[in-house]
């Protein structure tokens, strides 16, 4: 049970304010849950062939990110960009992503990968949304779009790993408000296909299901239609990819969502109070997504399908 927010800025001039707007939206949803919070921003896309950006989380507070990148640089013989924030860091190693991944796995057991992709950066942790926004300077983020979440844990534990967004695959993230009623059978079905789970959170089952469908060749719409058939319970899901935001609600549509759209942006939240501070929202087209309708907004051409 939670609050969700999403923002896609159509106006390039506004992209410097992504973090500013997004933080206001996230903190506005703290009333719907303040066990933990998280945000995925799509920013500073890496263009070099084969190069990926990694968002990292250290379960040890005393991590020395400079030392880590130095060691990695020496071992892998490549340049690495580093942006460190306490136990979070975003690194861009200019070397093959799979080798970077293996190096981290073998050398830094306390470091967990929150996301991999060309543009995604993920920040999430236990605590009040306002505190998390402050700790990781979320206001300072710029970029094209973001997905955020404030959590009131239902059945699974309150840990950084159980916080949303959940990421699977590259540049893919998902947040969820609601409660699935068949997450364990979904999970068992996916595990039999060799898919690994990090947590027992119901949202992870939804995320891995969609990623599996996309990997099998479905486009987003086909994957979401498959999700309507397989996912039971109540959910509003907001999905981010490198180019788009997608939003769906289950057939009962018992968990809230509201969309405000104008020439400058598309903003999504569980409640209007998270949108109230956006510029010129009074003149935006405000609507509520319909049950089992698929809404996709693309970075280039913002179209609802």
Q: Smallest distance from the beta carbon of 254 to other proteins, in angstroms?
A: 4
Assess contact for 218 and 227: CB atoms under 8 A.
Answer: no
Residue 86 vs 228, nearer CB to other proteins: 228
Q: Smallest distance from the beta carbon of 130 to other proteins, in angstroms?
A: 17
Query: In the structure encoding, which two tokens stand for residue 227, read together?
Result: 């999700």
Residue 99 vs 158, nearer CB to other proteins: 158
Q: Distance (Å, rounded) from C-alpha 18 to C-alpha 133? A: 13
Q: Smallest distance from the beta carbon of 1 to other proteins, in angstroms?
A: 4
Q: Distance (Å, rounded) from C-alpha 172 to C-alpha 245? A: 10
Q: Smallest distance from the beta carbon of 28 to other proteins, in angstroms?
A: 8
Q: Element (H or E) spanning 215, and its range? A: helix 202-215
Q: Smallest distance from the beta carbon of 206 to other proteins, in angstroms?
A: 16
Quick one: CA dihedral 231, 237, 240, 244, positive or negative? positive
Residue 130 vs 153, nearer CB to other proteins: 153
**Residue 283 buriedness (CB in 10 A; 0-12 / 13-18 / 19+):** exposed
- Point out which residues bind other proteins (CB under 8 A): 1-3, 31-33, 35, 152-155, 177-179, 234, 253-256, 258, 270-277, 282, 286-288, 290-291
Total Cβ atoms within 10 A of residue 49: 5
Residue 2 vs 190, nearer CB to other proteins: 2
- Which amino acids are annotated catalytic? 2
Residue 65 vs 295, nearer CB to other proteins: 295
Spell 161-186 as b/e; 16+ CB within 10 A means b.
bbbbbbbbbbbbbbbbbbbbeebeeb
User: What distances in angstroms separate CA 134 from CA 26, 43, 89, 148, 279, one per listed residue?
Assistant: 12, 19, 15, 15, 22
205, 263, 198, 195: which is closest to 230 by C-alpha?
A: 205
């Amino acid at each position: 049970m939670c609050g969700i927010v999403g923002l896609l800025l159509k106006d390039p001039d506004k992209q410097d304010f992504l973090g500013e707007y997004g933080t206001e939206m996230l903190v506005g949803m703290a009333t719907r849950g303040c066990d933990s919070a998280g945000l995925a921003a799509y920013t500073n896309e890496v263009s070099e062939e084969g190069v990926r950006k990694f968002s990292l989380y250290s379960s040890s507070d005393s991590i020395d990110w400079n030392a880590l990148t130095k060691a990695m640089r020496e071992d892998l013989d490549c340049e690495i960009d580093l942006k460190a924030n306490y136990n979070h860091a975003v690194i861009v190693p200019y070397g093959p992503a799979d080798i970077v991944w293996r190096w981290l796995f073998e050398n830094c057991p306390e470091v967990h990968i929150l996301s991999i992709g060309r543009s995604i950066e993920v920040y999430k942790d236990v605590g009040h949304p306002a505190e998390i926004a402050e700790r990781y300077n979320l206001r300072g983020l710029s970029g094209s779009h973001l997905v955020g979440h404030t959590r009131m844990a239902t059945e699974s534990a309150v840990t950084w790993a159980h916080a949303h967004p959940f990421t699977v695959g590259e540049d893919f993230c998902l947040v969820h408000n609601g409660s699935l009623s068949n997450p364990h059978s979904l999970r068992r079905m996916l595990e039999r296909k060799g898919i690994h789970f990090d947590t027992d959170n119901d949202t992870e089952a939804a995320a891995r299901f969609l990623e599996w469908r996309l990997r099998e060749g479905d486009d987003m719409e086909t994957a979401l239609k498959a999700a309507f058939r397989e996912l039971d319970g109540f959910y509003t899901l907001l999905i981010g990819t490198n180019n788009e935001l997608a939003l769906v609600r289950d057939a009962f549509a018992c968990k809230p969502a509201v969309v405000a759209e104008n020439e400058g942006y598309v903003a999504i939240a569980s409640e209007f109070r998270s949108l109230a501070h956006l510029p010129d929202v009074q003149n935006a087209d405000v609507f509520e997504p319909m049950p089992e309708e698929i809404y996709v907004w693309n970075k280039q051409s913002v179209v609802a399908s």
